[in-house]
Amino acid sequence: MDMPVPSDSVLTRKAAIVARLRRLLPDDAVIDDPAETLAYECDGLTAYRCAPLAVVLPRSTEEVAATLALCHEEGVPVVPRGSGTSLAGGALPTADSVILGVARMNRVLETNYTDRYIRVETGRTNLSVSGSVEADGFFYAPDPSSQLACAIAGNIAMNSGGA
Q: What is the pTM of this model?
A: 0.90
Q: Cα 46 to the chain's mean position, in Å?
A: 17
Using the predicted structure, report yes or no on whether residue 144 has a pLDDT greater than 80. no
- Give the burial string for 125-159 (b: 16+ CB within 10 Å, else e): bbbbbbebbeeeeeebeeebebbebbbbbbbebbe
- Domains of the chain, start order: 8-101 (3.30.43.10), 108-157 (no CATH)
Q: What is the pLDDT of residue 161?
A: 63
**Model confidence band, residue 163 (pLDDT cutoffs 50, 70, 90):** very low
Q: What is the pLDDT of residue 85?
A: 86
Q: How far apart are CA 103 and CA 109, in angstroms?
A: 15
Q: pLDDT tens digits, residue range 44-88?
A: 888 889 999 999 999 999 999 999 999 999 999 999 999 888 888
- More reliable by pLDDT, 46 or 35: 35
Q: What is the pLDDT of residue 2?
A: 80
Using the predicted structure, report yes or no on whether residue 160 has a pLDDT greater than 80. no
- More reliable by pLDDT, 144 or 103: 103
Question: Rounded mean pLDDT of the chain?
Answer: 92
Using the predicted structure, report yes or no on whether residue 101 has a pLDDT greater than 90. yes
Strands (E), the chain: 30-31, 54-56, 78-81, 98-101, 108-112, 117-120
